[in-house]
């Protein structure tokens, strides 16, 4: 016996999670539950604009408004560059705030109205604004720059460009949750149809382009229950960006592409295992 199928059907199953991940709505609802204002009652938080577009914003969460935090975590949400809101990812600040670390959740413009180059420019612009307000907002120079899925991609390309401008320093650590580093298989899916990326654009922004993370301390994280190609993306990213020899890949049990973030935030052992080496150089 055999099954007759197509590459498009396969890659749709790998990436179009709104249709194929049965817990998608429940996982997002849990994100939103722990992103409500009541969860931050003991902390200060405020919104800053880093550009003129309504989505060029960031929300800053202070562990203690009276002083600089022990460190700073910056987080960029996913959504395949064309969906999701920073308000849904506020929960990512909670485990950091608990440890006296301030957190910033970034927002950016979306495709297809804007191109991927614009989104990378937003990442650089946000990092520039953070540098500008660091003294006023009492933000630490000890930093973790994190992203999930498409957000991890923006971390890689945004920090690469920001590094050239002195906005990212060698001891800034990168935390990459289930990133999309190879856009080629995504381009031929229903998501790719929405993004409307040219072949030149796919080539420019895929990891084969030679992008560098400039030897930043980096952790790659993926859920054990993710699709095969999301797992491949993580191992490919680690191989292409950090040589492949470093044991800096974390596979989180009982976690899919969305619940991965919830596990990171709510499981003390998981959080400590992933972040300890990234914070090792902090004073």
CATH number of the domain to which 78 belongs: 3.40.50.1820
Domain with 39 in it: 7-275
Query: How far apart (Å, rounded) are the C-alpha atoms in residues 117 and 195?
Result: 13
Six-digit token string for 68: 């600089």
282 pLDDT higher than 90:
no
Is residue 149 one of the residues assigned to a domain? Answer: yes
Is residue 283 one of the residues assigned to a domain? Answer: no
Report the number of distinct structural domains present in the chain. 1
Is residue 29 one of the residues assigned to a domain? Answer: yes
Is residue 245 classed as helix, strand or coil in its secondary structure? Answer: coil
Predicted pLDDT of residue 281: 83
Q: What mean pLDDT value characterizes the chain?
A: 97
Predicted pLDDT of residue 149: 98
* Mean pLDDT confidence for 224-237: 98
Residues in the chain: 283
Structural element, H or E, at residue 16: none
Is residue 92 one of the residues assigned to a domain? Answer: yes
Is residue 281 one of the residues assigned to a domain? Answer: no
Is residue 134 one of the residues assigned to a domain? Answer: yes
Sign of CA dihedral 270, 276, 279, 282: positive
Sign of CA dihedral 158, 264, 255, 252: positive
283 pLDDT higher than 90:
no
The answer to whether residues 152 and 174 touch, using CB atoms and an 8 Å cutoff, is no
The answer to whether residues 176 and 156 touch, using CB atoms and an 8 Å cutoff, is yes
* Mean pLDDT confidence for 58-87: 98
pTM tops 0.75: yes
Question: Where are the extended beta strands (E) located within 167-258?
Answer: 173-177, 218-223, 249-252
Is residue 2 one of the residues assigned to a domain? Answer: no
Long-range CB pairs of 246-249, under 8 A, 24+ apart, other chains included: 248/218, 248/219, 248/220, 248/277, 249/219, 249/220, 249/221, 249/222
Phi, psi for residue 237 in degrees, rounded to 5: -60, -45
Six-digit token string for 134: 């660091």
Query: How far apart (Å, rounded) are the C-alpha atoms in residues 103 and 177?
Result: 16
* Mean pLDDT confidence for 160-164: 95
Q: What is the DSSP letter of 281?
A: T
274 pLDDT higher than 90:
yes
Is residue 42 one of the residues assigned to a domain? Answer: yes
* Mean pLDDT confidence for 23-46: 97
């Amino acid at each position: 016996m055999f099954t007759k199928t197509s590459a498009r059907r396969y890659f749709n199953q790998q990436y179009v999670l709104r249709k194929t991940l049965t817990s998608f709505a429940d996982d997002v609802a849990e994100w939103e539950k722990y992103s409500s204002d009541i969860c931050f009652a003991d902390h200060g938080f405020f919104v800053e604009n880093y550009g003129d577009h309504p989505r060029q914003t960031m929300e800053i969460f202070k562990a203690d408004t009276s002083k600089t935090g022990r460190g700073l975590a910056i987080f960029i949400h996913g959504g395949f560059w064309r969906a999701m809101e920073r308000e849904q990812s506020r929960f990512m600040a909670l485990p950091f705030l608990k440890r006296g670390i301030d957190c910033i959740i970034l927002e950016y413009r979306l495709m297809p109205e804007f191109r991927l180059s614009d989104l990378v420019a937003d990442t650089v612009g946000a990092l520039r604004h953070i540098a500008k307000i660091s003294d006023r907002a009492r933000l630490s120079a000890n930093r973790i720059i994190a992203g999930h899925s498409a957000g991890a991609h923006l971390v890689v390309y945004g920090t690469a460009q920001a590094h050239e401008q002195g906005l990212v320093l060698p001891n800034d650590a990168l935390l990459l949750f289930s990133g999309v580093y190879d856009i080629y298989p995504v381009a031929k899916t229903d998501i790719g149809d929405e993004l409307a990326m040219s072949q030149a654009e796919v080539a420019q922004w895929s990891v084969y382009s030679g992008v560098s993370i400039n030897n930043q301390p980096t952790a790659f994280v993926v859920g054990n229950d993710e699709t095969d190609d999301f797992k491949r993306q993580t191992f490919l990213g680690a191989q292409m960006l950090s040589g492949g020899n470093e044991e800096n890949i974390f596979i989180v049990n009982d976690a899919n592409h969305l619940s991965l973030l919830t596990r990171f935030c709510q499981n003390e052992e998981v959080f400590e295992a992933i972040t300890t080496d990234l914070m090792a150089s902090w004073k």
